[in-house]
A and B are shown apart, each in its own frame.
Chain A
Amino acid sequence: MRILLEHFSKSFGAVKVIEDMTLEIKDGEMLALLGPSGCGKSTTLFAICGIHRVTSGRILFGDRDVTNVPSQERNVGVVFQSYALYPHMTVADNIAFPLRIRKMPEAEVKRQVEEIAGLVHIEGLLGRRPAELSGGQQQRVALARALVRRPNVLLLDEPLANLDAKLRLEMRSEIRRIQLETGITAILVTHDQVEAMSMCDRIAIMNAGEIIQIATPQEMYRNPRTAFVAGFLGNPPIAFIEAEARDGSLAVKNADIRLPVPKNATVPPDGTPVIVGIRPESLGTEGDATIRGRVSFIETQGRENLYDITLENGSVLRSIQRVRDDIALDDVVEWKVRSDDIFLFAENGERL
């Protein structure tokens, strides 16, 4: 079902958390609300499921205005960060709870519980209690409970935060598989850009109660709208250096480095201070511009190495390259940058 937030605002007392936000989630789409803690993404989620009342604006499920509809009647499936399974009930009773509340006949309840248990692969666990399950299994139960009543929308609130690294990888693809198989509209709230990029069709990146950009993961990575977006996506993260426009190129501040203006940017007038963003993968052996610096840190990652190079003005750039033996700490290197892969931002963070 299509979900639409229209001019949605939420404040707690005098604190405005979200102001005038409009967001559309298409039918069958999985959308990530990505942002640092306190950016209002959970508030948005709670508004959609009806736990928080909206201060102003409208929420539409399909064509139905649910702004003032109580949670119980919105039919929203939520998977909480802590899973919130009912500890005193077995897995089967946990999953059956929403159906029993709807007074569904017991035979039908049993059938549907078994069907959904099959979908999330927990058929063998139905008789256990939540405390007897591993984190990943609890997660699957929580998903089953949220999905069993065929909700209008599935909300996932940091669903992977409590899992260890290996399970996180597994559940990432599992959640996506289940979402695709059921074709349900889903919203994933997360502060982890990897989760957002790998699981979702589109990402809405938020900061300080505002949506900065909505795009597909690929588009957002290639074409960030602001320095904040560029800084949030990518691991290891992008590095920023200060520069100034001079004679149609960019002069790095306090350093004898000139970079060409990337083709995708408009050439700023001379003397404009700008911020140049260079991703670690854009700095290395190929390119049309040269950056000189001292290798100040080497991090071994196995297949690749991450090098920090410190420029003469003290700024630090990162470069990720295949492991090379010819570079040692404190070497002075001249590395190449592909000028079309660098990003140019104005001082206020807006893309140029």
Chain B
Amino acid sequence: MIGHLRTWPIVLALTIVSAPLVLMYVFLFVDTISNAPAGSFIPNEFTLEHWSFLWETRPGRPSIWRVTLNSFLFATSTAALVLVISSMAGYVLSRLNVPGRTYFLAGVMVLHAFPAITLIVAIFLVLQVVGLYNTLIGVILVKAAIDMPLGIWLMKGFYDTVPWEIEMAGIQDGASRFTVWRKLVLPQVKPGIFALGLFAFLLGWGEFILPQVLAPSGNAQVLSVYLAGLIADDNNFDMNMFKSVGLFYMMPVLILFFVFQNRLMNIYGGGSKG
């Protein structure tokens, strides 16, 4: 009991500090299922009309399901691309004697330091020329390329911690270099693969600027662009629907975090001491 009594000041302080955040989220949720009289915070009626975007498509706008599917495709494809390439490139940079390895690593780092937005005009022109403008594939490629430096560095860091002896043992056991990577080394960096996959997915899910500029309309639209379209629309301005779409947009992320929170906490706990 005494222990509980002693903690109350901390609990109180934390409550006060986090109250504004909690209130914001509570109202975000409450506003999506209710109406309030003008000028008041307190809702006076329950309604599902703000969620109507789920079953009726507004004229001039793509279906929400189509857009969600696009967002999902966009996030998983970029994550998959980043994973496959980074897990191989990271291994090569960590282990093999590639000519110009240090320069390459430094170059990758510099690329990562560039804000993607500074390249946007050039990328826009390139996509126009190769005919990938306003397509999902185009923006997936661009996003994956921009996330790649981080992925490569992250994976290289994980590979660096795998003991050389494991690879030597694999080679002596008769396995090819590729089999050694696939069967012996890759399982040691599983936490890295997992973390990178999740981060790349979340980065893709939350990306706004690239799809907005490179695939703004039609069949390639993603949720963030759809959301921005709502607020930019002066004719049918509906704040509560904007909140509903926002909440809808957030949900997969929340679910991912709930499902994987334990593994996320353990990302750096997966050492490999033989």
Binding site for B on A (CB under 8 A): 49-51, 71-73, 75-78, 80-88, 97-98, 101-102, 130-131, 138, 145-146, 149
Task: Point out the residues of chain A lying under 8 angstroms from B173, CB to CB.
Answer: 97-98, 101, 145, 149
A131 and B273 contact, Cβ closer than 8 Å, known pairs A75-B174, A77-B172, A101-B173: yes
A-B pairs with beta carbons under 8 A, tally: 67
Q: Which residue of B lies closest to A76 (CB)?
A: B172
Mask for B162-193, Cβ within 8 A of A = 1, else 0? 01011011111111100100001001101000
Task: Point out the residues of chain B lying under 8 angstroms from A130, CB to CB.
Answer: 274
- Is A82 within 8 A of B165, CB to CB? yes
Task: Count how many chain B residues have C-beta atoms less than 8 Å from C-beta atoms of the other chain.
Answer: 20
A131–B166 CA distance with the chains assembled, in angstroms: 14
* Cβ distance B12 to chain A, nearest Cβ, rounded Å: 44
- Is A101 within 8 A of B174, CB to CB? yes
Q: Please tell me if B40 contacts chain A, counting CB pairs below 8 Å.
A: no
- Is B274 within 8 A of A83, CB to CB? yes
- Is B274 within 8 A of A84, CB to CB? yes
Q: Please tell me if B272 contacts chain A, counting CB pairs below 8 Å.
A: yes
- Is A71 within 8 A of B171, CB to CB? yes
Q: Which residue of A lies closest to B187 (CB)?
A: A88
- Is A72 within 8 A of B171, CB to CB? yes
Extra A-B contacts (11), CB below 8 Å, given A101-B173, A130-B274, A149-B173: A71-B172, A76-B172, A78-B168, A78-B169, A83-B274, A87-B272, A87-B274, A88-B190, A88-B272, A98-B173, A101-B174
* Cβ distance A112 to chain B, nearest Cβ, rounded Å: 14
> Could you name 19 residue pairs across A and B whose Cβ atoms are closer than 8 Å?
A71-B172, A72-B171, A72-B174, A72-B176, A78-B168, A80-B165, A81-B165, A82-B163, A84-B163, A84-B165, A84-B169, A85-B169, A86-B170, A86-B184, A97-B173, A101-B179, A130-B274, A146-B172, A149-B173
A146–B172 CA distance with the chains assembled, in angstroms: 9
Task: Point out the residues of chain A lying under 8 angstroms from B171, CB to CB.
Answer: 50-51, 71-72
Q: Which 8 A-B pairs have the closest CB atoms?
A: A84-B165, A98-B173, A84-B169, A88-B187, A80-B165, A101-B174, A85-B274, A71-B171
Task: Point out the residues of chain B lying under 8 angstroms from A72, CB to CB.
Answer: 171-172, 174-176
Mask for B145-162, Cβ within 8 A of A = 1, else 0? 000000000000000000
Task: Point out the residues of chain A lying under 8 angstroms from B274, CB to CB.
Answer: 82-87, 130, 138
* Cβ distance A143 to chain B, nearest Cβ, rounded Å: 12
- Is B188 within 8 A of A102, CB to CB? no
Task: Point out the residues of chain B lying under 8 angstroms from A98, CB to CB.
Answer: 173-174
Q: Report which of A76, A77, A84 forms a contact with B166, defined as CB distance below 8 A.
A: A84
* Cβ distance B199 to chain A, nearest Cβ, rounded Å: 23
A130–B163 CA distance with the chains assembled, in angstroms: 15
